[in-house]
Amino acid sequence: MSKNFKTLQEQVAEKLITALQDGTSPFQKPWTDDNSSGYQTPFNPTTGAKYRGMNALWLAMQAHQDPRWLTFKQAAANKWSVAKGSRATLITYVKKYDLRPLLDEKGKPVLDADGKPRKVQVKLDKPMFINALVFNGEQINGILPWQQDLNEEKAGHAWPAIERAEHIVRASAATIRHGGNEAYYAPSADRIQMPKQHQFDSAAKYYATLLHELGHWSGHETRLNRDLTNRYGTPGYAREELRAEIASLMIGSELNIGHNFGQHAAYVASWIKILKDDPGELFKASADAQRITDFIMEFERKQELSVEASKTTVGRLVDGDSITYKDTTYLVSGGAAKNTCYVQDSSGAKTKLNVRDGLYQSLLNARDNVPEQETQIEVVADPQFEARGYE
């Protein structure tokens, strides 16, 4: 092996260091004009799966606007072609399972109805690191514009972005106080401190900041159990901020509310030093950030399952219902006797809802005067900053 060879972890760390120094890293990407996310999590258009951990960060740092990435074989299977002269990007992933032939009691392969060997998923004794080469959507001939793929994915969510964020925060049941001018998580009290909502430029920035603090909150010993004992200004403190910042990118992209980098810009120099001292830290930080993201987004999935489980016992919206919810009046029409209906809001926009959708349940509760679940929030006029938490 050449002494100049660099592992993918080293390549990613070096590229991120340069981007942080130049102010062009994914963390420092600007918000869009409508306060939506300036960072889009890379995803595979053939499987719909989002790239995870360090792979997501690495692909986002390439010089492409298109967030879609796929292999040569996946492109060919869809009758697309890779543009001549295109250079592939290397990613790596951990393989924990393998598909192996199903054997009968005599050790012979079990065949399916077509006479082909059946396969079963087997957990590997030791996980394997697998490399893959992928191409960006901008390098693929015949593929549809990436905005169309992204808009279709976003259209699959019945709840608006802010409502999704609010559902997650409420479902977490985190203790949140409002007051003062600082946002932080205090591990000793297991409490999030936030400025009041009107102090933010937009609802998106408020929730982006709150979800960042919820990322720190996830590290409590009763949850993901990360080390939150480091003091402000130490490398350990900066490492935790790096994890929460990467998770903020992922969650902000998933919800399309962006991330609020402003108060975390001060950590850039610390992150650069950490990555220079140990390039492998980025791999560990990305893995932890993915766990944070999965943990927080799980609150939304549980909320959806709860709505689905209750669909046989709750009532139904009916034609002609006029419901005021969050200062907007919705008129119900069409097919309300079944599991779907249409609602038209005050602006004239019409949306098809299913009984499993969050907005359907919210409208039903509003019609029947069922109070929404409250987050544990204590409002204080001017909280004392007894000990600096994680910002």
pLDDT band at residue 14 using 50, 70 and 90 as cut-offs: very high
User: 72-90: per-residue pLDDT in tens?
Assistant: 999 999 999 999 999 999 9
pLDDT band at residue 125 using 50, 70 and 90 as cut-offs: confident
pLDDT mean over 138-149: 88
Residue 337, pLDDT score: 55
- Counting runs of H as helices and runs of E as strands, what totals does the chain give? 10, 13
The distance from CA 336 to its chain's CA centroid, rounded to whole angstroms, is 33
Which of 51-55, 301-305, 361-365 holds the top average pLDDT? 51-55
User: 339-356: per-residue pLDDT in tens?
Assistant: 788 888 877 778 888 887
Give the phi and the psi of residue 30 in degrees, each rounded to 5: -70, 160
**Element (DSSP H or E) covering residue 193:** strand 191-194
A 10 A CB-CB count for 262 gives: 9
- Which stretch of 45-54, 55-64, 153-162, 323-332 has the lowest confidence by average pLDDT? 153-162
Residue 216, pLDDT score: 97
Give the phi and the psi of residue 239 in degrees, each rounded to 5: -65, -40
Comparing C-alpha atoms, which of 61, 70, 75 is closest to residue 11? 61
pLDDT mean over 97-117: 82
Residue 314, pLDDT score: 52
232 vs 93, higher pLDDT: 232
Residue 157, pLDDT score: 61
- Whether residue 171 is predicted with pLDDT greater than 70 in this model: the reply is yes
CA distance 382 to 389: 16
pLDDT mean over 377-385: 38
Strands 119-136 and 191-194, sheet pairing = unpaired
CA distance 245 to 288: 11
Domain boundaries, the chain: 31-150, 157-309, 322-367
Comparing C-alpha atoms, which of 221, 261, 200, 237 is closest to residue 390? 237
Q: Which two tokens stand for residue 85?
A: 């002269």
User: 233-262: per-residue pLDDT in tens?
Assistant: 999 999 999 999 999 999 998 888 888 787
Ranges of H-type helices in the chain: 8-22, 53-60, 72-77, 146-155, 161-172, 203-217, 235-255, 268-277, 280-309, 358-367
CA distance 158 to 133: 35
CA distance 27 to 34: 18
Give the phi and the psi of residue 6 in degrees, each rounded to 5: -120, 135
Residue 382, pLDDT score: 36
User: 258-275: per-residue pLDDT in tens?
Assistant: 887 877 788 899 999 999
- Whether residue 34 is predicted with pLDDT greater than 60 in this model: the reply is no
- Cβ atoms of 331 and 348 within 8 Å: the answer is no
- Whether residue 374 is predicted with pLDDT greater than 90 in this model: the reply is no
pLDDT band at residue 387 using 50, 70 and 90 as cut-offs: low
pLDDT mean over 13-25: 91
Burial class (CB in 10 A: 0-12, 13-18, 19+), 359: middle
Residue 89, pLDDT score: 96
- Whether residue 26 is predicted with pLDDT greater than 50 in this model: the reply is yes
Strand order in the sheet with 340-344: 322-325, 328-333, 340-344, 350-354
- Whether residue 309 is predicted with pLDDT greater than 80 in this model: the reply is no
Burial class (CB in 10 A: 0-12, 13-18, 19+), 107: exposed
Q: Which two tokens stand for residue 273?
A: 């030093």
- Whether residue 364 is predicted with pLDDT greater than 80 in this model: the reply is yes
Residue 296, pLDDT score: 96
- Whether residue 32 is predicted with pLDDT greater than 70 in this model: the reply is no
- Whether residue 232 is predicted with pLDDT greater than 80 in this model: the reply is yes
Side chain identity at residue 186, one-letter code: A
User: 192-210: per-residue pLDDT in tens?
Assistant: 999 999 999 888 889 999 9
Q: What percent of the chain has pLDDT over 70?
A: 84
Residue 33, pLDDT score: 52
